[in-house]
Amino acid sequence: MATLVEPPNRIKPKGKHYYTIWQTLFEIDTKYVPIKPIGRGAYGVVCSSINRETNEKVAIKKIGNIFENSIDALRTLRELKLLRHIRHENVIALKDVMMPIHRTSFKDVYLVYELMDTDLHQIIKSSQPLSNDHCKYFLFQLLRGLKYLHSANILHRDLKPGNLLVNANCDLKICDFGLARTNGVDGQFMTEYVVTRWYRAPELLLCCDNYGTSIDVWSVGCIFAEILGRKPIFPGTECLNQLKLIISVLGSQHESHLEFIDNAKARRFIKSLPCTRGRHFSQLYPQADPLAIDLLQKMLLFDPTKRITVLEALQHPYMAGLYDPRCNPPAQVPISLDIDEHWGEPMIREMMWNEMLHYHPEAASTNA
Amino acid sequence: MKKAGSISSGLKLTVPAASDRDSFTKFRSEPESGTFKAGDLLVNNEGVRIVSENEVEAPPPIRPQDNQLSLADIDTIKVIGKGNGGVVQLVQHKWTNQFFALKEIQMPIEEPIRRQIAQELKINQSAQCPYVVVCYNSFYHNGVISIILEYMDGGSLEDLLSKVKTIPESYLSAICKQVLKGLMYLHYAKHIIHRDLKPSNLLINHRGEVKITDFGVSVIMENTSGQANTFIGTYSYMSPERIIGNQHGYNYKSDIWSLGLILLKCATGQFPYTPPDREGWENIFQLIEVIVEKPSPSAPSDDFSPEFCSFISACLQKNPGDRPSARDLINHPFINMHEDLNVDLSAYFFNSGCTLATI
């Protein structure tokens, strides 16, 4: 699967070797030996590998031609900055970022993560039976990781089953921080990039300017429902259809639950939708634990100001026996992201190089 | 098939000279013929390809029914477009030298949906229509859908508009007639609603043909949780009943609404709905409020013929029940009023500076 090949131009830089994986050339540090390809996402190819120095298995993600698309470059930079600070058992660890050979002209970035067996999306769509304890434990870990993130003022903003990595022993870790941002930082206005539609909170779909941690809670609710039902709860075909599906399940909203919508036209659109009583979650998930239904209902409230918080969710009776507040300290300090989305390639490149130096301080003296 | 032993050691394969490709940009088809030959260039409905005059028996062109195409037999020439979640490349078949467009959409999809999408795309291969871009084959590998399509060397109506700004009525009626025939095929023969009709999904070529494309892609896009289209772009050509109604609240008439907006944009040079202020649309709800609640746009009667104004008015009826079908519209006076003029779309596209096949 992974084939050792000669370096391009037959010039072999010190400390690197070359492998072809799914017709993609990997230029990686010699301490890593690829095993096999394990995935291909929107941004690059991922392969499992072994770190010969530690005998540890890792996942190496190659993001090729990263500066071809400034949005992709910014996503990667954001992930690099955030993951360097995050230390939590329910958040994927970024173990290494390989130093490129040429500082001023590198085009590819290689990120090294801890290796997980699969993701929640694969599990949900598989025939693997999931007991109430499975559902509970997955949800607990997701909420615990999210509590840590929110305590550091980080919004993930793209939670979905595919971004939740899982091991055979049911350990769960949140990954993909390309759309994450810090919450409530004045003047840090971020253009809304492409966000996965089925898990978007109503306040995002309705173009509300002020949103907070509650958008992640909505996504968790959608994921929780998907674990229970083994299929997406709101599979909208586009954003307006997404809103219609949400209303068709939750029912038409009372005026008092629409006050959070600061855009008058968006509010009028919601009111113009046909009246419906909705469907109770116990009808959708008749086999589910009644406590799970209660928690789900509190997570999927249309009005974000009334939606349950992560901490309240951890304290919910459904989580009894799992959540111990003494074992979940908050992040040490709030993390700030000084990223300007208007940066051009030279600045992004420089910032990336500086992030890499945190993993390779020995390279700081090199004039590459 | 020749035996290996019979091949003479003196026999060599000759590659067409580069000059053959240069002359590619100069050809024009005769209006009356389905095949055009200039030097070594041979053009017909099966595609554009290079044939050496010395060649005794050229390999026959690949037809959609042949199911012969595989990605391994294709050479990439260049990227010719990006849009709707994918990249489109001009490619050439190694053995027949035919040109195709290869659309690649990066998208991990579950098996059942993948099969549904492949089935949707395969529909196009079972029967051809001269007003719909042919889909030769589709593949799914490592999270990428590859679709091999007929190559349209004139680009899209969007490209044409960026050159000419507005299109005169006589050419518009000829273009519209072809689009209506394509819609009749989709709606009545295939029972498909396009759902994403817009200028960039109407392709043109040097023969003056206009063909509908990308109607399989909307199914792909709707079956994923992602969102590749720009926010505003998703809704600009969407009909009012689709915006405000439920999932089953629209039908083939939705495409007619889109067609009306396309024609109005081609005629006036501007998208019919304009933001209230110069800053652009504040958000999608501002746009959809205008579409759903304000009167339909219309063609100014002092600038356009009564027939054109009437056609636009028919297409842009708010109530789909009042909107005519493609079959109704093909007999509208606007479609037939210029027939005696013998409109030459081929010459029009060429003279407009549309990019013909350049390599």
Kindly state the greatest CA–CA separation across chain B: 77
CATH 1.10.3720.10 fits B155-218+232-352, yes or no: no
Closest chain B C-alpha to A199 CA, distance in angstroms: 8
Residues of A with Cβ-Cβ distance to B112 under 8 angstroms = none
Examine the pLDDT at A186 and tell me if it is beyond 50. no
Mean of per-residue pLDDT scores for chain A: 84
- Which of A27-41, A268-282, B174-188, B195-209 comes out lowest in average pLDDT? A27-41
Give the pLDDT score at B212: 92
Give the pLDDT score at B16: 38
Residue found under tokens 């609640």: B293
A22/B283 Cβ within 8 A: no
Mean pLDDT to the nearest integer, A138-147: 93
Q: What are the tens digits of pLDDT across the range B76-129?
A: 887 877 665 677 888 988 878 888 998 887 655 555 665 566 665 655 555 568
Residues in chain B, how many? 359
Mean of per-residue pLDDT scores for chain B: 74
Chain B residues near any Cβ of chain A (below 8 Å)? 106, 108, 110, 142-144, 222, 225-228, 231, 234-235, 243-244, 246-247, 282-286, 288-289, 292
Give the pLDDT score at A43: 54
Convert B48-86 to b/e letters by CB count within 10 Å (16 or more is b): bbbbeeeeeeeeebbebeeeebeeeebeeeeebbebbbb
Q: What are the tens digits of pLDDT across the range A70-83?
A: 777 887 887 888 88
Please give the DSSP secondary-structure letter assigned to residue A4: E
Q: What are the tens digits of pLDDT across the range B241-257?
A: 878 765 455 578 889 99
- Give the chain B residue nearest A248 (alpha carbons): B246
Q: Are A219 and A189 in contact (CB under 8 A)?
A: no
Give the pLDDT score at B108: 57
Give the pLDDT score at B67: 62
Backbone phi, psi, residue B264, to 5°: -65, -40
Residue found under tokens 């007999």: B331
CATH 3.40.50.460 fits B71-150, yes or no: no
Give the pLDDT score at A329: 66
B226/A194 Cβ within 8 A: yes
Q: How far apart are the first and last CA of chain B?
A: 32
A40/B289 Cβ within 8 A: no
Give the pLDDT score at A59: 93
Active site positions of B, annotated: 196
Examine the pLDDT at B358 and tell me if it is beyond 70. no
Closest chain A C-alpha to B202 CA, distance in angstroms: 22
- Tokens coding B70: 């595989």
Highest mean pLDDT among A237-251, A303-317, B197-211 belongs to A303-317
Q: Are A248 and A263 in contact (CB under 8 A)?
A: no
- Give the chain A residue nearest B245 (alpha carbons): A273
Mean pLDDT to the nearest integer, A294-313: 94
Q: What are the tens digits of pLDDT across the range A75-131?
A: 788 788 888 888 798 998 998 999 888 878 897 889 999 899 888 988 997 888 999
Residues of A with Cβ-Cβ distance to B219 under 8 angstroms = none
The CATH classification of domain A118-327, taken from the options 1.10.510.10, 3.40.50.300, 3.40.50.10490, 1.10.3720.10: 1.10.510.10
Q: Are B306 and B295 in contact (CB under 8 A)?
A: no
Is A209 known to be catalytic?
A: no
For chain A, give every residue range classified as CATH 3.30.200.20. 3-116+342-359
Break chain B into its structural domains and give their ranges: 71-150, 155-218+232-352
Percent of chain A at pLDDT exceeding 90: 33
Give the pLDDT score at B2: 32
| Confidence grade of residue B8 (pLDDT, cut at 50, 70, 90) | very low
Instruction: Give the domain A3-116+342-359 fold.
Output: Phosphorylase Kinase; domain 1 (3.30.200)
Residue found under tokens 């690099």: A80
| Confidence grade of residue A63 (pLDDT, cut at 50, 70, 90) | confident
Examine the pLDDT at B305 and tell me if it is beyond 90. yes
